Structure 1
Amino acid sequence: MHGQMPPAMPMLSRGKHRNPSKGACFMEFASYLAGERWSDHPSCTHPLLAGLARLVNDHTSDAARPRLAELIPSVIGLTGDDPRLDARIALCAARAALPVVAHERQLAMAVSILSGEHVLAELEGRRAGYLDERSRQALDQVPDAARWAYTFGRGVRISPKGFRRYAAPNTVQLAVRGIAQACVSDPDPLLRDLLADAIDECWALLRPVSGTGARPGAGSAAEPATVTAAGPAPAAVDPARWADACRLTGLSA
């Protein structure tokens, strides 16, 4: 979107829709903008990131869901085969959920953080036991859950392949549902921030050549950055196509 959002914003809705006249979720709107077949599983976005977007879309309130639309251009073309993407997306979800979800889910999120960090350490050649500062801070907020996770995880190791196939999707699903059901005054901003942070993590890993690695429109009016061979360049969204998609799916009030 060249860093600027158009005046018309779509009315996003929960669930899967057969065609635009029936409505659109976050990823269906992305599929249309990308010029793909109408689908909530388009190839233009990393599968786990798309899964996170669908979950956030469905667990956000009707009143707050239109605010998600400004993130849609950022996921178009944001994909790749690097297994670190799955680990980083899962870590974003677990870190966001850990401080606010119910106790039994805190245990699962703490284990997910330690597992995700273990997988990243293996993939990136870090020393065993290394923790990103953000993971350390999240675990420090729930010391009982952290102690339990360290004890539970002793001698238990998961391969990058296993984490990518099973643990990462489960972590994302539990995290989003846990945040949506948490005893907080308004979970909607937490869900939106989680999705935005995951998008930024993917951008950082795919190393845009120009700019700082932030997603297009993230605090800047700069053009979408070109991405190196680590991943494809994000598609520039045609404002006319955006307007057409809004017309087909409905406009937000």
Structure 2
Amino acid sequence: MEMASFLAGERWSDRPACTDPVLAELARWVNDMLDHPHRQRLVMMVPEVVGLTPDDPRATTGLLLTAARAALPVAAPERQCIMALAILNAERVLADREGRSPDHLSEPSRSALTSSPGAESWARAQLARRGFSPAAVRPSSAAKVVSLAVDGIARAWIDDRQERLVDLLRDGIDVMAAFSPLVPDPLVVSWPVREPGVRQTAATRKARSHPG
């Protein structure tokens, strides 16, 4: 996110205005949970988040769903309950906004909930006990779910947790981009490459940076 702030011409910060705050939260958490080799795979995603600030309120809900669905099958049981409740809440919010039945579940959500029937039962009991009035998902609540989801995946007893985290950020960017049809094309960044066998002096680097 600091590199995104640099590319956007903003003050150096890991909370740049050029990126949706919930997506930025996801990026920070994923970055912090990866080892060095996996973290390097995030570099190519940095230009894609610059300017990614969709106005559609469904974007935040979609990002929350993406994170919760990724964490539910692998997180610890107590985290699974939170993820299941987040999925059911978010699905009902989207159903209300899009004029669908409140019991409608998208296929990815249905698949995730099926993987943890105990968590789903607990979440449905919570909703039935307290009632539910669909309302927009607040960014602060979405950011909390996102952070818990990433932490749940990072702590899971699975061999591919780092791959899953990289994939989660990739999916999160794609979800937000889907709600930003007018977002500009991603920035193209060319990193300097040293020619084999050529020793670059300070003068050489300056000449390459300022040709002519």
The alignment's TM-score, normalised by the length of structure 2, stands at 0.84
CA distance, structure 2, for counterparts of residue 56 and residue 243 of structure 1: 27
CA contact (8 A) 2:60 2:139 kept: no
Q: CA deviation at 1:194?
A: 0.5
The aligned counterpart of 2:165 is: 191
* Partner AA of 2:96 in structure 1: E
Structure 2: runs of 5 or more not aligned: 194-212
Q: Of the candidates 156, 174, 182, which is equivalent to residue 156 of structure 2?
A: 182
CA distance, structure 1, for counterparts of residue 125 and residue 36 of structure 2: 41
Structure 1: runs of 5 or more not aligned: 1-26, 208-226, 245-253
1:156 aligns with 2:134: no
CA distance, structure 2, for counterparts of residue 96 and residue 152 of structure 1: 21
Q: Of the candidates 165, 171, 187, which is equivalent to residue 236 of structure 1?
A: 187
Q: Of the candidates 158, 171, 177, which is equivalent to residue 145 of structure 2?
A: 171
Q: Tell me the SS of whatever aligns to 1:197.
A: helix
Q: Tell me the SS of whatever aligns to 1:64.
A: helix
Runs of 4+, deviation exceeding 6 Å: none
Q: CA deviation at 1:166?
A: 3.9
CA contact (8 A) 1:91 1:116 kept: yes
Equivalences, count = 192
Seen in structure 2, the aligned counterparts of structure 1 residues 34 and 138 have a Cα distance that, compared at 3 Å, is: same
CA contact (8 A) 1:56 1:176 kept: yes
* Partner AA of 2:25 in structure 1: G
1:88 aligns with 2:62: yes
> Mapping of 1:55-74 within 5 angstroms?
55-74=29-48
Deviation per CA, 1:36-75: give whole Å up to 9, x if none: 2111111111110011001101111223211111111111
Q: What is the RMSD computed on CA atoms of the aligned residues?
A: 1.8
Q: CA deviation at 1:147?
A: 1.3
* Partner AA of 2:17 in structure 1: S
Q: CA deviation at 1:85?
A: 1.0
Q: Tell me the SS of whatever aligns to 2:51.
A: coil
Q: Of the candidates 75, 79, 96, which is equivalent to residue 101 of structure 1?
A: 75
CA distance, structure 1, for counterparts of residue 192 and residue 124 of structure 2: 50
CA distance, structure 1, for counterparts of residue 145 and residue 121 of structure 2: 19
CA distance, structure 2, for counterparts of residue 189 and residue 41 of structure 1: 24
Q: Of the candidates 81, 94, 108, which is equivalent to residue 120 of structure 1?
A: 94
Identity of aligned residues (%): 47
Q: Of the candidates 97, 110, 113, which is equivalent to residue 136 of structure 1?
A: 110
CA contact (8 A) 1:77 1:234 kept: no
CA distance, structure 1, for counterparts of residue 111 and residue 63 of structure 2: 17
Task: Name the structure where helix makes up a greater proportion of residues.
Answer: 2
CA contact (8 A) 2:54 2:179 kept: no
* Partner AA of 1:31 in structure 2: S
The alignment's TM-score, normalised by the length of structure 1, stands at 0.71
Q: CA deviation at 1:234?
A: 4.3
CA contact (8 A) 1:45 1:79 kept: yes
CA contact (8 A) 2:4 2:50 kept: yes
* Partner AA of 2:38 in structure 1: A
Bigger radius of gyration: 2
Q: CA deviation at 1:169?
A: 1.5
